[in-house]
Amino acid sequence: MKILDIALKDLIRSTRSLFLIGMAFAAPLLITALIYFSFGSIASGNVDMPTINVGVVNLDVLPANSLLEAPLGESIRSMFFDESVQSWIHASDYPDEASARGAVNAQEIGVAVIIPASFTEDYLAGNKDTVITILQDPTLSIGPTVVRDMVTSLLDGVAGGGVAFKVLTERSEANGQALDPATIPTFFETYSTWYANFQRAMFHSPDKAALVVKSPAEKGDTGNNVQSMMGMIMSGQLIFFSFFTGAYAMMSILQESEEGTLARLFTTPTNRTTILTGKFLAVLFTVIVQGAVLLTAGRYLFNIRWGETGSFLLSFMGQMFASVGLATLLVSFIKSSKQAGFVFGGALTTLGMISGLFTANIQIAAFDLMGNFTPQGWVLKAWKLSLAGQPASELVVPFLVLTTMGIVMFAVGAMLFRRRFA
Amino acid sequence: MSYAIEVKNLKKSFGNLQAVQDASFTADAGEVLSLLGPNGAGKSTTISMLSGLLAPTGGDASIMGHSVVSEPESAKKSLGVVPQDIALYPDLSARENLIFWGKMYGLRGATLKQRVDEVLEIIGLVDRQKDHVDKFSGGMKRRVNIGAALLHKPDVIIMDEPTVGIDPQSRRHILDNVKALNRQGMTVLYTTHYMEEAAELSDHIAIMDKGRIIAYGTHDELIKLVGRETRIDITINAEGGRVLEAWRSTEGVARIDALDGTLTALVDDSNRVLPRLFDAASKVGVRITSVDIQEPNLETVFLHLTGRALRD
């Protein structure tokens, strides 16, 4: 009963410590909020790509005796009318530059693409003076940039086709083979089909242009990269602040020593194990509450699925044991609360860094290796597995490692405390 | 005979430092025993051993018949300890502090609530019970500090210099509380370096110096140690060495020492000896600038036994 009394007293004091509340809840939630405002809408899948109104003036005609079946201008025009871009580009034809310019000025369209009459002939002849004119509404930035990039990309593709055709011709001649003119249209058709698919696959769709994330744990979803990234970032935060909160809460034993209340507790009929266990419980409960708050925030702000229930619980429990164990060990080395800021800041930041907590969304081999020797590294491994949708059976090893680490660190710390206060 | 407090050949060493050496004294149930001595005399170390904070290097002590070495939990149940420094949770209210300390002594439920209410009455903080302790004055904190040791109605209460650094009003309140507790039958072990407090409160006084109990008895018994000697503090206008030797050989002077720039003499009859001291000073060309005569008291006793002032 006294154990609970001591734990309750410590918890009440914790709720009255602005610093602890700040570091345990406010700081991580503030960072969470910042990330949310930066990526939240993407993570939740609400990508609002504004529709770009494009006017196309295609004056290009196929030169006489051309090997092409259609002028290049038609390829550029058709790109804006392609089915794959209809959700974010609304294209319309204009007969001449004047009418397109008028539409831009009237803000009926945001961008006008004007392809000159001799574009195919000039381009194939290597005439560097040939130009495609792009007119834009000066109040817009993203739409015209996207249109310009699309045109540039297509022309790069045409240039690539030219290079490929030249190489094909030269190699045929070098081998003493004459290129059959009948195969040339087929060659260009094959190349243009490949290039069109390549372009579509790259960014002709907002679903491809922007990363949209759903949890990998969610069955049937595979490409949810941003949400996965948010899960990693949040788990790194969760682990760092959990260890920090544990250490700071455990520091109450040093505060009590300095306030004289620890010595006074020793004068009551309460043994030292009861006192230490009570304080341990308070730290454990604080870490649980803090973790629960951050996990809930991650779930509802970022739609992060932390994993299957069993995996989630093993990760969370492993994290609790390890953070309380490390907290006990760290605080047992500290002589006064004045040293705590330096030691906690240094030790926990260093351990967090080499364990990859601050780069949780990036695979760094050195951190993966060093993480094998730190409790934070193992907690991160556990959360990565859980976030990846692994079953609980895959988390047994990390959980056992973390539990063992927690028990050993707590035992060593408790022994040092008992010696100090013997 | 069973004592409320019995200390037998208690020893405590810290490395080569012998903080307490063969200390022995007793206190009957219902009496106030003061442990008097200057800072560093070993008072706090002695009570730390009695209250279970430090393990003795040798000897033993018992509280209500329970050895602090072999039955520490039983001894602690009979004991309330008021530490020298405030030992309270500053961010808890007075009432929250009392509730917590009551629980640590095993009180629960209605009994706990009743005792907390009673103690708040005793320490005079009913109106401020919901205020956080860090908002209190030094004197009010001292009172809560004492109250926390009274909750379980201990047979013995140890108070370690409870009046250090507080205002006269709070000091008076604490001394009156000690008397009231004693009237209720509580045995009080009171450590102090203020001889007035020891004289006012105590049935017995143990004087401690350099880890040893150098005198033990009632106030009157201790005063008798110095006989009829009167203490005279003399200030002169020159270096003391010139007149010290002359005064030491003056008839009626039991001892004379230079303390804090003042010459302090123990004499058998101040009316008779004082003119001789003036004469001797004149002969060596020293002028006496002030004289303070004190009837025998515990300060005199300590000076008589150690050659040093109690406040040194």
CA A325 to chain centre: 30
Q: What does the alpha-carbon distance between residue B20 and residue B236 come to, in Å, rounded to a whole number? A: 38
CB-CB contact of A284 with A4 (8 Å): no
The pLDDT assigned to A209 comes to 40
Mean of pLDDT over chain B: 88
**Residue A207 CB partners (closer than 8 Å, separation 6+):** none
The pLDDT assigned to B9 comes to 92
For chain A positions 365-384, those within 8 Å of chain B (CB to CB) are none
Q: What is the DSSP string of B35-65?
A: EE--TTSSHHHHHHHHTTSS--SEEEEEETT
CB-CB contact of A406 with A375 (8 Å): yes
Lowest mean pLDDT among A194-203, A269-278, B64-73, B209-218: A194-203
Q: Does B87 touch chain A (CB under 8 A)?
A: yes
Q: Does B96 contact A12 at a Cβ distance shorter than 8 Å?
A: yes
Instruction: Scan for tokens 């609790």, then name that residue.
Output: A320
Q: Does B90 touch chain A (CB under 8 A)?
A: yes
List, for residues B249-284, the tens digit of each pLDDT value.
Answer: 888 888 888 876 688 888 888 888 889 889 988 888
Q: What does the alpha-carbon distance between residue A261 and residue A267 come to, in Å, rounded to a whole number? A: 10
Listed as own residue / partner, the contacts of A13-16 with beta carbons closer than 8 Å and 24 or more positions apart are A13/A252, A13/B89, A13/B91, A13/B92, A14/A249, A14/A252, A14/A282, A14/A286, A16/B91
CB-CB contact of A318 with A402 (8 Å): yes
Contacts of A17 in chain B (CB under 8 A): 91
At residue A34, the 3 state secondary structure works out as helix
The pLDDT assigned to A44 comes to 55
The pLDDT assigned to A177 comes to 80
What residues of chain A score a pLDDT lower than 70? 32, 36, 38-49, 128, 200-227, 360-362, 422
Question: How would residue B58 be classed by pLDDT, with cut points 50, 70 and 90?
Answer: very high
Contacts of A267 in chain B (CB under 8 A): 51-53, 76, 79, 81, 83
For chain B positions 105-134, those within 8 Å of chain A (CB to CB) are 105-106, 108
pTM of this prediction exceeds 0.95? no
Q: Does B73 contact A269 at a Cβ distance shorter than 8 Å?
A: yes
Nearest C-alpha neighbor of B300 from the set B162, B192, B199:
B199
Q: Does A272 touch chain B (CB under 8 A)?
A: no
Q: Does A265 touch chain B (CB under 8 A)?
A: yes
Fold category of B228-295 in CATH: Alpha-Beta Plaits (3.30.70)
**Which of A4, A9, A267, A275 best tests the B interface by mutation, with the highest count of B CBs <10 A?**
A267
Domain parsing of chain A, residue ranges: 2-44+215-420, 52-209
CA distance A268 to chain B (A): 6
Joined tokens for residue A60 = 């290009």
**CATH superfamily, with its number, for domain A52-209:** Periplasmic binding protein-like II (3.40.190.10)
The pLDDT assigned to A142 comes to 77
Q: What does the alpha-carbon distance between residue A181 and residue A162 come to, in Å, rounded to a whole number? A: 15
List, for residues B14-23, the tens digit of each pLDDT value.
Answer: 988 889 999 9
B91: nearest CB among A5, A13, A264: A13
The pLDDT assigned to A219 comes to 43
Please give the DSSP secondary-structure letter assigned to residue A359: G
Nearest C-alpha neighbor of A43 from the set A53, A35, A51:
A35
Listed as own residue / partner, the contacts of A161-165 with beta carbons closer than 8 Å and 24 or more positions apart are A161/A188, A161/A191, A161/A192, A161/A195, A162/A124, A164/A191
Q: What percentage of chain B carries pLDDT values higher than 90?
A: 43
CA distance B125 to chain A (A): 21
Which residues sit opposite B33 in a β-bridge? B189, B204
Q: Does B89 contact A268 at a Cβ distance shorter than 8 Å?
A: no
Tell me the C-alpha to C-alpha distance, in Å, between residue A90 and each of A54, A146, B269: 6, 13, 120
The pLDDT assigned to A300 comes to 82
- Counted residue by residue, chain A has a size of 422
Who wins on pLDDT, B153 or B303? B153
List, for residues A243-269, the tens digit of each pLDDT value.
Answer: 888 888 888 888 888 889 999 999 999
Q: What does the alpha-carbon distance between residue A196 and residue A76 come to, in Å, rounded to a whole number? A: 11
Q: What is the DSSP string of A289-356?
A: HHHHHHHHHHHHHH------HHHHHHHHHHHHHHHHHHHHHHHHH-SSHHHHHHHHHHHHHHHHHHTT
Beta-strand relationship, B58-63 and B66-67:
antiparallel
Q: What does the alpha-carbon distance between residue B266 and residue B293 come to, in Å, rounded to a whole number? A: 10
Q: What is the DSSP string of B196-259?
A: HHHHHH-SEEEEEETTEEEEEE-HHHHHHHTTT-EEEEEEESS-THHHHHHHHTSTTEEEEEEE
CA distance B88 to chain A (A): 6
Please give the DSSP secondary-structure letter assigned to residue B17: E
CA A410 to chain centre: 35
CB-CB contact of A56 with A80 (8 Å): yes
∠ CA B69-B72-B74, nearest 5°, is: 135
Which residues sit opposite B132 in a β-bridge? B93
Q: What does the alpha-carbon distance between residue A402 and residue A419 come to, in Å, rounded to a whole number? A: 26
Q: What does the alpha-carbon distance between residue A349 and residue A337 come to, in Å, rounded to a whole number? A: 18
Q: Does A264 contact B106 at a Cβ distance shorter than 8 Å?
A: no
CB-CB contact of A349 with A413 (8 Å): no
∠ CA B42-B44-B50, nearest 5°, is: 105
For the domain spanning B5-223, the CATH number is: 3.40.50.300
Nearest-CA residue of chain B relative to A18? B91
Q: Where in the sequence of chain B do the CATH 3.30.70.100 domains occur?
A: 228-295
Q: Does B79 touch chain A (CB under 8 A)?
A: yes
